[in-house]
Amino acid sequence: MRMKNEKIDQAIQGYFDHLSIQKNLSDSSISTYSDDIKSLVTFLKENNIKNFSKVDRKNIRSYLVWLSENKIDRSSISRKLSVLRTFFRWMLNEKIILENPVPSRISIKKEQKLPRFLSIDEINRLCEIPSINQGIAEHIVFRDRAILELFYSTGIRVSEMSGLNLQDIDFSSKTLKVIGKGDKERLVYFADLASKSLKEYLTKSRGKLSRNISSDKKAFFLSDRGNRISIRSIQDRIKKYTKISGLDNKVHVHTLRHTFATHLLNGGADLRVVQDLMGHSSPYTTQIYTHVTALEARKSYFSAHPLSGKDK
């Protein structure tokens, strides 16, 4: 019996050597592989299977059910299945096993989590948080308000916000040129309130932030030291204001992007227009927001219609 356990240990160690030496994977990646394979070994021990050569397709399917019963989420199960495929394929090539028991076509559908978005009252409250009453310097207040208003008005990504240059903004047409994923350039629009905040930042704030000789002359938004504001810095500022405003800790920079898209669709905007404004390469990425708006419509109906049975 001990020899068969040693064979399992030897196979696993041989695979890790393969990942480290031939595949040149990092220690953290190998650690993830190790955790996923260990869960399989635990399952095999519980079912008194002491050799990988004894594992069949029925065992693999039972293992996936076992993971689900142990409250492992679908995305983790999908990853573990992927690791098993590569592991058993390697053992087949090494002739440790004679047949690969992992079905090639089996897949785990990942749970589609609906994006969190803010109500109009919540986003208004958040945008009003930066103030000198919070002990924040006036020139930082103007900058951060402009960032918040621009996020909600355009739905751009935090990387796109950080990468903005002075020449990218056209106040006459209220358009913004951004460089998105894959270095794709697109035009987005911003509203009057955002336009006002951006102008206030330029006239009352940016000059103080760019007082150093070494300050970035091209960047639109600057840090306290006059450099282009970083993605991390923007994220930290939003996190701070979210906490002050009393919103839950699941609200982050991307929540503002979700809020922009959801409010546009709630207002009747065409899905393809929202797709273009957000820089999505596929309409399927944008379609998730239609599920959100549908849920909101259902909620509104059952809370408002006299025949919805709400009193029950």
Taking the CA atoms of 14, 15, 17 and 21 in sequence, report the sign of the dihedral they define: positive
pLDDT at 109: 61
pLDDT at 280: 84
Distance CA 62, CA 53 (A): 16
Q: Provide the H-helix boundaries in the chain.
A: 2-17, 27-46, 57-69, 74-93, 120-128, 138-154, 158-162, 192-204, 206-209, 231-245, 253-266, 271-278, 283-286, 288-304
Q: Provide CATH code, domain 120-304.
A: 1.10.443.10
User: CB–CB of 108/74 below 8 Å?
Assistant: yes
Distance CA 92, CA 53 (A): 10
Domain with CATH 1.10.443.10 in the chain: 120-304
Catalytic status, residue 63: no
User: CB–CB of 107/62 below 8 Å?
Assistant: no
Confidence at 104, pLDDT banded by 50, 70, 90 = confident
Catalytic status, residue 291: no
Catalytic status, residue 289: yes
Residue 301 has pLDDT above 50, yes or no: no
Q: Using one digit for the tens of pLDDT, what is the confidence trace for 214-250?
A: 788 899 999 998 999 999 999 999 999 999 988 877 7
User: CB–CB of 94/87 below 8 Å?
Assistant: no
Residue among 23, 38, 110, 181 flagged as catalytic: 181
pLDDT at 113: 64
pLDDT at 1: 28
Residue among 145, 157, 237, 263 flagged as catalytic: 157
pLDDT at 24: 86
Q: Provide CATH code, domain 2-93.
A: 1.10.150
Q: Using one digit for the tens of pLDDT, what is the confidence trace for 163-213?
A: 999 999 999 999 999 998 878 899 999 999 999 999 999 999 999 998 877
Q: Provide the H-helix boundaries in 163-287.
A: 192-204, 206-209, 231-245, 253-266, 271-278, 283-286
Residue among 33, 63, 241, 289 flagged as catalytic: 289
Domain with CATH 1.10.150 in the chain: 2-93
pLDDT at 265: 83
Q: Using one digit for the tens of pLDDT, what is the confidence trace for 5-19?
A: 567 888 999 999 999
What is the SS3 assignment for 273?
helix
In the predicted model, what is the mean pLDDT of residues 271-281? Answer: 85
DSSP 110: P
Distance CA 228, CA 159 (A): 12
Residue among 80, 206, 257, 258 flagged as catalytic: 257
| Amino acid (1-letter code) at residue 263 | H
Question: By percentage, how much of the chain surpasses pLDDT 90?
Answer: 48
Catalytic status, residue 157: yes
| Amino acid (1-letter code) at residue 283 | P
